Amino acid sequence: MKKKVLILCTGNSCRSQMAEGYIRDFAKDNIEVYSAGIETHGVNPKAIQTMAEDGIDISKHSSNNVDEYKQIHFDYVLTVCDNAKERCPYFPSAAIKLHQNFPDPTKSIGSEAEINEAFRMTRSLIKSFSKKFVDDYIN
């Protein structure tokens, strides 16, 4: 039976979407991956662009609210921002909860190049976290 993983963020627009893309890629068909937000803000176009630079297509992802998944019994719930960890709803399962706060590149300011670099930095951190998660818990 495939493990079920939920990646939770504030708006399900950027960090959780990136993590979903990488975890899907690293784990291949070994798991079911979902991402959601405490709120839904739509998938951020810069997140899509930044992931495409690394060969991961998240353009067909949707922004989902965590309430949509309350009936699923997850094996893992990964929170990728402090706000989501603090507001994470109770899931009626024995899910292992893991947390890593990543900087929110959507809050970055500066030139276009500086904003793009903030997205790339967050992408790099999420990629490393996602690879380690898959290596440690899935494979």
Residues annotated as part of the active site: 9, 81, 88
Spatial distance between the Cα atoms of 71 and 48, rounded to a whole number of angstroms: 29
- Helix ranges, 8-78 (H): 15-27, 45-53
Spatial distance between the Cα atoms of 103 and 62, rounded to a whole number of angstroms: 21
Q: Which of 118, 132, 96 is nearest to 19 (CA)?
A: 132
